[in-house]
């Protein structure tokens, strides 16, 4: 079945450092890809998405590019802030978005001042 693999955390960075969280997937067909974020005590929030190959999703300074050739959707941010400390989840569904989300394990990011 479909699956998502994320880099293991936790990741600890200093403020203004560059962030990469790796995500690769296995899926039949052409899935839609997502990054969700969970801040402490809150629910999962959609951070960004991409629905076809070479699409770049972006939001709040975060970016991820749908790479079909490497089946990857790595999350990047050029300069992290303390407020970015959270757990980040990579996920996929079918292209229409109608199948249940398949999540990775999540990567905890801690940003220190």
41: region left, alpha or beta (phi > 0 left; psi from -120 to 50 alpha): left
Burial per residue of 64-82, b for 16 or more beta-carbon CB atoms within 10 angstroms, e otherwise = bbbeeeeebbbbebeebee
Least Å from the CB of residue 36 to another protein? 8
Question: Using the rule CB under 8 A, which residue among 10, 28, 43, 70 binds another protein?
Answer: 43
CB 36 within 8 A of CB 45: yes
CB 89 within 8 A of CB 35: yes
Q: Which of these segments, 18-26, 59-67, 69-77, 92-100, binds another protein (CB under 8 A)? A: 92-100
Residues 11, 13, 15: CA angle, nearest 5 degrees: 145
Least Å from the CB of residue 69 to another protein? 23
Question: Using the rule CB under 8 A, which residue among 75, 86, 93, 107 binds another protein?
Answer: 93
Question: Using the rule CB under 8 A, which residue among 106, 107, 109, 111 binds another protein?
Answer: 106
Nearer to another protein, 34 or 73 (CB): 34
Interacting residue ranges for another protein, rule: CB under 8 A: 4, 32, 34, 36, 41-46, 49, 51, 89, 91, 93, 97, 99-106
């Amino acid at each position: 079945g479909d699956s998502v693999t994320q880099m293991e955390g936790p990741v600890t960075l200093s403020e203004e450092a560059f962030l990469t969280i790796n995500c690769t997937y296995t899926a039949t067909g052409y899935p839609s890809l997502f990054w969700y974020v969970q801040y402490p005590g809150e629910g999962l929030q959609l951070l960004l998405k991409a629905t076809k190959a070479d699409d770049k999703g972006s939001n709040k300074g975060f970016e991820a590019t749908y790479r079909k050739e490497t089946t990857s959707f790595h999350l990047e941010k050029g300069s992290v802030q303390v407020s970015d400390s959270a757990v980040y989840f990579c996920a996929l569904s079918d292209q229409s978005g109608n199948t249940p989300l398949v999540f990775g394990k999540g990567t905890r990011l801690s940003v220190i001042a």
